[in-house]
Amino acid sequence: MKRSKGKMYWVGVVCVVAFAVVMIGSAMDAAAAAKTPMRIKSSSIGGSWYAGGSAWAKLIGDKYPEFQAVNIAAPGLDNESLKRLFRKEAELVFLTGPGAYNAYKGVPPVWKEPMPLRGLFGIWPGVMNTVVAAESKFQTLQDLKGAKIATYVPGDINGEQTLALLKHHGITEQNTKIYKIMKSDAARMFIDGAIDAVVYYYGYGHANLKEMSASRKIRFLPNDPTMVQAFMKENPFYYIADFGAEFGVPNAKQLIGPYHTACRADMPEETAYKVTKAWFDNLDWLKKVLPSNMPYVNVKEPAAGVPVPLHPGAVKYYKEKGIM
C-alpha cells in the first residue's frame, strides 16, 4: 500500500512538471507570436548582403524587442527578394540599383506594373568583377570572346546586366560558352580550372572572391573604355573605379553599382523610422563587424544610389539627425 502511494506521488509530480513545461512553452510561443515579424531577405551565406542582414537583424532585435528580426539567407538576389517582399514573406530587402528601379517602374517581363517600393538607405557599392587567372592570356573583357564564362542564373536582373555588358564587348551566347550558375558553383569551377572567367557582382569583402583569390592567383579584367560607355548610357546607375588592392591584386577599372535597402510602401512610418535608426545609430559597431564594407558606405548622404523614393519613416530619421 505504501509502495502504491509512493508511486502515485511521483506520477503526480511528473504530471505537474509536464503541465508546467507545456504552460511555459505556450507562454513563450505567445510572446513570440506577439512580436511583429521583421524578416530581412539578404543573400546566400557568404555574400556581403548576408553579413549585413545578420548585423541589421541583431541591431533591430536588440533595440526594439517588439520586433522578431531575422535574416533570411537564400539564393537569388533582386527579383527573388522583391517577389518575397511583395508576397509579404519579407519586410526588408537588400537590392541593386537596376533591380529596384525596374520593379518601381514596372519594367517587363518580370513586372507587369509599377511596384510599391520605397528605399531606406544606401549601403556599400557592388562591383561587377570580371575575374581571370593571373597567368591567363586575357587582357581586356573583349578578349573573352570564345572562352568559358560563368555568370548569374537565368532570370536574375544582375545576370541580364552582365549579359548586356558582355554583348557590348562583342561576347554573346552564340560565340561564347556562358554558364548560368550560382556564385558558389562558379567559384569552385574557377578554382578547378573548368572555366576561364567569372563575371558577377562581388566587390568589397565578398567571401567567394576571397576563396578564389586564396586558391589561385587572379586578375580583374578592365572594360574597354569606349565599349563600356554605351552600356553605362543605357544603365546610368554605374560608374567606373579602381578595384583589386583589397585582394592583393593590381587595381583594374571595374564597374561599380549601388546597393541599398528597401521596403514596401505600406510599411508604417514609425517602423521604417526604427529600422533606419537601428542601423545609423550603431555605425561604430557596424564598422567592427563589417570592416570590409562599412568604409565604403556614404553615411553623410544615405539616399545616394537609391533609385526609388525614400520611405517617409527614413526621411523622418534623416531630418531629425540633420543629414537631409
Percent pLDDT > 90 in the chain is 62
CATH architecture of 126-257: 3-Layer(aba) Sandwich (3.40)
Q: Residue 155: what pLDDT?
A: 79
- This prediction has a pTM of 0.78
pLDDT in tens, 29-84: 444 457 899 999 998 887 889 999 999 999 999 999 999 999 998 877 788 899 99
Please give the DSSP secondary-structure letter assigned to residue 16: H
pLDDT in tens, 128-153: 999 999 999 999 999 999 999 999 98
Q: Where in the chain is the domain with CATH 3.40.190.10?
A: 35-124+259-321, 126-257
What's the grid cell of residue 95? Answer: 537590392
Round to whole Å and give the CA distance between 296 and 301. 12
Per the CB < 8 A criterion, the answer to whether 85 and 38 are in contact is: no
Strands annotated E in 162-286: 177-180, 197-201, 218-220, 239-243, 252-257, 259-264
Question: 3-state SS of the chain: helix, strand, coil percent to 5?
Answer: 45, 20, 35
Q: Is the peptide bond before 312 cis (omega within 30 degrees of 0)?
A: no
Q: Residue 110: what pLDDT?
A: 87
Round to whole Å and give the CA distance between 181 and 112. 26
pLDDT at 14 over 50: no
Protein fold of 35-124+259-321: D-Maltodextrin-Binding Protein; domain 2 (3.40.190)
pLDDT band at 7 (very low <50, low <70, confident <90, very high): low
pLDDT in tens, 82-124: 999 999 999 999 999 889 999 999 988 889 999 999 999 999 9
Per the CB < 8 A criterion, the answer to whether 241 and 255 are in contact is: no
What's the grid cell of residue 241? Answer: 573605379
49, 51, 57, 60: CA torsion to nearest 10 = -90
- Mean pLDDT, rounded, for 197-214: 90
What's the grid cell of residue 171? Answer: 561576347
pLDDT in tens, 233-269: 888 778 888 898 888 888 899 999 889 999 999 999 9
pLDDT band at 190 (very low <50, low <70, confident <90, very high): very high
- How big is the CA angle at 54 (ends 67 and 300), to the nearest 5 degrees? 90
pLDDT band at 26 (very low <50, low <70, confident <90, very high): very low
Percent pLDDT > 70 in the chain is 90
Q: Residue 157: what pLDDT?
A: 83
Which of 159-163, 175-179, 240-244 is modeled with the greatest confidence? Answer: 175-179
pLDDT at 20 over 80: no
Which residues, 6+ apart, have CB-to-CB distance to 110 below 8 Å? Answer: 79, 102, 103, 155, 157
Q: Residue 30: what pLDDT?
A: 43
